[in-house]
Amino acid sequence: MSTPAVERVSECFVTPESPTQESNQICHLALWDIAMLSVNYIQKGMLFKKPTPLVDPQHFIQNPLNNLKHSLSLAPQTQDPPSYVVFVDCKNSPGAKFIYATLNMTISDILSPIDVPPIVQSYIYRL
């Protein structure tokens, strides 16, 4: 197997699909969100199976993007009244950064070891 290499395919900022008055307000963080801020930047990655050659890469990535846009539209509606002062300013933000990258490893290469392979740890923080 060749040395694993991450290739950044594209990136964009995702905003709510149908902005509401709530989505333009500040979003107060819960205590567990604040605790995570002091540990590390909250950055998550998702693994998908490799699309068949017949699938257009743009079409393949559109489904997760649409789901994220829909979720961002709903997020402000599920907020509890604030009792703290740390917040995210949704109105003056470009949105959630979405990076589409590929890695020439199989899912079993990533999930088989007991520890997360170093290439996976490093590429998430480099993106």
User: What does the alpha-carbon distance between residue 12 and residue 98 come to, in Å, rounded to a whole number?
Assistant: 5
Q: Can you give the pLDDT at residue 104?
A: 81
Which residue, among 109, 96, 90, 127, has the nearest Cα to 50 in the 3D structure?
A: 109
pLDDT band at residue 83 using 50, 70 and 90 as cut-offs: low
Q: What does pTM read for this prediction? A: 0.53
Q: Can you give the pLDDT at residue 75?
A: 59
Whether 102 contacts 48, CB under 8 Å: no
The contacts of residue 89 (CB under 8 Å, 6+ apart) are 26, 27
7-66: pLDDT as tens digits: 888 888 888 777 777 767 777 777 777 776 665 555 666 677 777 777 676 677 777 777
65-79: pLDDT as tens digits: 777 777 766 655 555
Instruction: Please provide residue 88's backbone torsions phi and psi, each rounded to the nearest 5 degrees.
Output: -110, 130
In a 3-state reduction of DSSP, which class is residue 95?
coil
Which two structure tokens, joined as six digits, stand for 50?
């490799």
